[in-house]
A and B are shown apart, each in its own frame.
Chain A
Amino acid sequence: MLVNNFLLLGALLFCIGVYGVIVRKNAVLVLMSIELILNSVNINLLAFDRLWADSGNNDGNVFALYIIAVAAAEVGVGLAMVLLIFRNRKTISLDDLSEMKG
């Protein structure tokens, strides 16, 4: 298979994620968009891992695993924060998070 199949899929997911991050106002949805990006990275890593499989390393796999772990932690933290702001503001619209500016 062409490695580019996966890579382009990854790129596509990445860009969709970016779009989501920019467009979405709801904090939870932004977090979801981030997951898209992280998944695209993992697809990349695993594709590259196959690319270099002959050299006998599978660092890509390890990397991907670690990313999943970190992503989990990040989501946990992110949702905790979302809850926090919701508690304080009764909304999770990022638009309202602009008390400080300039």
Chain B
Amino acid sequence: MLLASDIQVAQNIGFGIIALVMVIGALRVVTSSNVVHAALWLIAVMAGAAAQYLLLSAEFVAVTQVLVYIGAVMVLFLFGVMLTRAKLGKDVDLDNAGAWKIGAPVALLLLGVMGYVLVKGFDDTKIAVSGEGSTVGQNSLLSDKIFSTYALPFWALSFVLLAAVIGAIVLARKD
């Protein structure tokens, strides 16, 4: 049996590594000069996110993340890359020239504000992560919620997807 504290340490280390990968991946996504590379880095981030979800004992979400994002969305992206005949290789023309002069300050400002309020607000508030406390029935609870409390949005979501599919087909098809 691992002690709770050991688990915590392990979790923290795990979190740290995954987080590092995600951040690096994210940075590469926004800086890579190769579209395909960027897409691949995004997969890394997605996967990292799925891992974090697991850490947060949201198994169903994590699985969905993998299925939908890595499985579907990423394929869409890659299709998109192919269909628009992006250069498979380095492409210097991916960024707006000099846009980092705007982007970086905005991002840093946002980060500053967010970081400040989060640190100030949640200071050292702790959460019970995977393995701590009960996660029994998480998924059933989730399904209960989806089909009772959030049934209407769920119902609506189906129409959102329907509309998106119809619209996307119309827009994307050649005629």
Contact = CB atoms under 8 A, between A and B. Distances in A.
| Chains A and B directly touch (beta carbon < 8 Å) | yes
B83 A84 contact: no
Interface string A54-85: 00011111101110111111111101111110
B42 A32 contact: yes
A15 B110 contact: yes
Contact of B99 (A15, A23, A65, A92): A23
Interface in A17-46: 17-29, 31-33, 35-36, 39, 42-43, 46
Nearest to B154: A66
A47 B56 contact: yes
Interface of A: 1-9, 11-29, 31-33, 35-36, 39, 42-43, 46-47, 49-51, 53, 57-62, 64-66, 68-77, 79-84, 86-87, 92-95
Contact of B83 (A9, A76, A83, A94): A83
Max chain B CB contacts within 10 Å: which of A57, A66, A94?
A66
Given A6-B52, A26-B94, A75 B26 contact: no
A76 B57 contact: no
A94 to B, nearest CB: 8
Contacts of B111: 11-12, 15
Given A12-B26, A39-B46, 5 more contacts: A2-B127, A15-B107, A42-B65, A68-B65, A83-B84
B77 to A, nearest CB: 6
B126 to A, nearest CB: 6
Contacts of A81: 171
Contacts of B69: 35, 68, 72
Contacts of A2: 122, 124-127
A42 B84 contact: no
3 pairs of A and B residues whose beta carbons are closest in the complex: A20-B30, A22-B103, A80-B168
Nearest to A63: B150
Given A23-B96, A72-B68, A72-B73, A42 B61 contact: yes
A93 B171 CA distance: 18
B107 to A, nearest CB: 4
A18 B86 contact: no
B29 A79 contact: no
Contact of B53 (A12, A46, A57, A72): A46
Contacts of A33: 29-30
